[in-house]
Amino acid sequence: MQYFEPNFVDEALVLLDRFAPHAHVLAGGSLLGLAVRTRDSRAIADATAIVNVKRIPALREISFDGATLTIGALVTAREASMHELIRAHAPLVARAASSLGARQLRTVATIGGNLCSGHPAADISTALLACDARCLIADIASGPTSVLAVDFVRAESDPRSLLTAIEVPASAARVAYLKMQTRRAFEMAIVSAAVAVELDGSTVRAARIALGGAAPSPVRAANAESWLRGKSPSGAAASDASRLAADQDAAPAGDAHASAEYRRQLVHVLVERALHEAFGMHDAAVR
Amino acid sequence: MQPVTLFVNGSAREVVVEPLQTLLAVLRDHLGLTGTKEGCGTGYCGACTVLIDGQPVNACLFPAVDADRRDVTTIEGLADDAGMLHPVQSAFIERFGLQCGYCTPGMILSAASLLAENPQPSDEQARSALAGNICRCTGYQTIIAAVHEAARLLREQGRAGEAPGKRAPIRGRA
């Protein structure tokens, strides 16, 4: 197995192209490290090259141009939870990042790795979906492209391409991120709900609701979102919308952690509570 | 094979590693620093916690190549040159924040890292910072009490906010 530490994106792309599909990108390393430790043969048995992208400074940049926040793919969960620009312009991402795993994992886990993990309840990915985020992808053959995060997490990634950054449009939305875990400390969420609501006086102008653990990848709750548009932000609206999310938008499968029915029930409860929070309601009865 | 220079507890150590070899294997097997323990080996239990540039990581998953030219603080590096224990170590003894001791090096490093950035943590902040360190012997009450005691000792000694362990004179690359 060969090992490379490129200093530029283009250099990484040449390597990925040369060894595709047998090159593995090494970013934070927790997923790849886990694959090695648990001898997950699918992940590394066929690897002939490791491309460590951590020496590419461009992948760590965070910037805001007044309309769009750009977050480098190598930004860690720890950085995302603390960085001023991310807290100001993508508070949902900061919240999800601060809830990810334990402190040791947040030191190393990257936003790019979270999006590429393929996990149905990946915290930061679910939050990014509710932000209408886009993934910037570099590719030696076709040049840089961008794709909506919701499509990125659903698709099989091209082994020759590299996720370089995430773009989050600025928004004045009120947000909430809630999740259910068997253990608060570091277990993955069973189900999570990321909610962003834009209010126009006393009506909902737009609602973006993303669900983790409710489908094979994080998904948007499109039915609940369109139902909420134009409604007034009330407990009844939250209840009806969360019911739609659970019944029509979620498509959970049962597994060792939770049955499909339980996941659906969690979608209902978490979306309702998240909407309450985003609406600014502080009804003790729903806490 | 990849040559790597680690600044372990303030000393430059040169090792040659496999691309995906873990920092834990390098510390224990190459450098003989067996204070860092392997628990689950899969990034859950935190027994293998060490600090990279002051930040806690699970050494069992951390690629050794990524520690190149960075400060690695292990439990062996907390006491001073005269062998005087670090206040976090003394506090764990004083408050009996351990039984078998296997999780203790990781607990102490997580606690030391927390106290460097938050000299007076609340109970909740202390529990959150140690959430990735599992102890299977005892309850966590004495461990949390030890963290508060360590915070008090550090303040009393005028060392609040001090980075734990020794740093190499030349800083590593980011």
For chain A, list the domains and their CATH numbers: 2-169 (3.30.465.10), 174-286 (3.30.390.50)
* Per-residue confidence (pLDDT) for residue A40, from 0 to 100: 61
Residues from chain B contacting residue A1 (CB–CB below 8 Å): 19
Nearest to A228, CA basis, from A271, A183, A184, A262:
A271
What residues contact residue A140 under an 8 Å CB cut-off, 6+ apart?
A10, A13, A14, A16, A17, A160
Q: Is pLDDT of A164 > 70?
A: yes
Residues from chain A contacting residue B132 (CB–CB below 8 Å): 101-105, 185-186
Q: Which of B24, B58, B128, B140 to probe the A interface (max A CBs under 10 A)?
A: B58
What residues contact residue B139 under an 8 Å CB cut-off, 6+ apart?
none
Instruction: Evaluate whether A110 touches A73 at the Cβ level (below 8 Å).
Output: yes
Name the closest residue on chain B to residue A188, using Cα atoms: B44
Please give the radius of gyration of chain B, using alpha carbons only, rounded to the nearest integer.
15
| B115-128 pLDDT per residue, tens | 999 999 999 999 99
* Per-residue confidence (pLDDT) for residue A41, from 0 to 100: 54
* Per-residue confidence (pLDDT) for residue A286, from 0 to 100: 43
- C-beta atoms of A34 and B65 within 8 A: no
* Per-residue confidence (pLDDT) for residue B171, from 0 to 100: 55
Distance between CA A180 and CA A124 in Å, rounded?
Answer: 15
Distance between CA A72 and CA B54 in Å, rounded?
Answer: 23
Is any Cβ of chain B less than 8 angstroms from the Cβ of A38? yes
With cut-offs at 50, 70 and 90, classify the pLDDT of residue A100: very high
Eight-state DSSP code of residue A110? B
| Nearest-CB residue to A29 (from B61, B113, B114) | B61
Instruction: Please provide the average confidence, as pLDDT, over all residues in chain B.
Output: 94
Average pLDDT over residues A115-143: 95
Average pLDDT over residues A67-84: 98
Is any Cβ of chain B less than 8 angstroms from the Cβ of A42? no
Distance between CA A191 and CA A120 in Å, rounded?
Answer: 9
SS (H, E, C) A249-263: HCCCCCCCCCCHHHH
Please give the radius of gyration of chain A, using alpha carbons only, rounded to the nearest integer.
19
Q: Which CATH superfamily is domain B87-156 in?
A: [2Fe-2S]-binding domain (1.10.150.120)
Q: Complex ipTM, two decimals? A: 0.94
For residue A21, what are its two tokens?
A: 């599909």
| B26-57 pLDDT per residue, tens | 999 999 999 999 999 999 999 999 999 999 99
Q: Is pLDDT of B133 > 70?
A: yes
* Per-residue confidence (pLDDT) for residue B173, from 0 to 100: 47
CB-side neighbour CA atoms (13 Å) of A230: 2
CB-side neighbour CA atoms (13 Å) of B149: 19
For residue A202, what are its two tokens?
A: 């006393």
Helix (H, G, I), strand (E, B) or coil at A4: strand
Residues from chain A contacting residue B128 (CB–CB below 8 Å): 103
Instruction: Evaluate whether B113 touches B51 at the Cβ level (below 8 Å).
Output: yes
Give percent above pLDDT 90 in chain B: 91
* Per-residue confidence (pLDDT) for residue A33, from 0 to 100: 79
- C-beta atoms of B132 and A26 within 8 A: no
Average pLDDT over residues A163-188: 90
Q: Which of B42, B52, B55, B61 to probe the A interface (max A CBs under 10 A)?
A: B61
Nearest to A213, CA basis, from A265, A250, A261:
A250
Q: Is pLDDT of B165 > 60?
A: yes
Phi, psi of A250 (to 5 degrees): -75, 140
Eight-state DSSP code of residue B109? H
* Per-residue confidence (pLDDT) for residue B52, from 0 to 100: 98
> In chain B, what are the domain boundaries?
2-77, 87-156
Element (H, E) at A63: strand A62-64
Is any Cβ of chain A less than 8 angstroms from the Cβ of B62? yes
The region of weakest confidence among A45-49, A188-192, A204-208, B142-146 is A45-49
* Per-residue confidence (pLDDT) for residue A284, from 0 to 100: 42
Check whether the bond before A21 is cis (ω within 30° of 0). Answer: yes
Average pLDDT over residues A48-54: 95
Report how far apart, in Å, the C-alpha atoms of A105 and of each of A43, A66, A138 are: 20, 31, 26
CA torsion angle A100 A78 B174 A165 (round to 10): 70
Tokens 């066929």 belong to: A46
Residues from chain B contacting residue A52 (CB–CB below 8 Å): 19, 63, 65-66
**What is the dihedral sign for C-alpha B33, B96, B128, A85?**
negative
| Nearest-CB residue to B132 (from A34, A54, A186) | A186
Distance between CA A228 and CA A241 in Å, rounded?
Answer: 7
Is any Cβ of chain B less than 8 angstroms from the Cβ of A61? no
Neighbours of A214 (CB within 10 A): 31
Is any Cβ of chain B less than 8 angstroms from the Cβ of A105? yes
CA distance B47 to chain A (A): 11
Instruction: Evaluate whether A53 touches A4 at the Cβ level (below 8 Å).
Output: no
Is B87-156 in the same CATH topology as B2-77? no
Phi, psi of A204 (to 5 degrees): -85, 115
Distance between CA A277 and CA A26 in Å, rounded?
Answer: 37
- C-beta atoms of A104 and B56 within 8 A: yes
Q: Is pLDDT of B170 > 70?
A: no
For residue B37, what are its two tokens?
A: 């323990």
CA torsion angle B6 B8 B11 B15 (round to 10): -40
Average pLDDT over residues A229-246: 97
Nearest to B159, CA basis, from B77, B55, B84, B87:
B87
Is any Cβ of chain A less than 8 angstroms from the Cβ of B143? no
CA distance B141 to chain A (A): 16
Q: Is pLDDT of A43 > 90?
A: no
- C-beta atoms of A186 and B131 within 8 A: yes
For residue B29, what are its two tokens?
A: 């097997």
CATH number of the domain located at residue range(s) B2-77 in this protein: 3.10.20.30
With cut-offs at 50, 70 and 90, classify the pLDDT of residue A182: confident
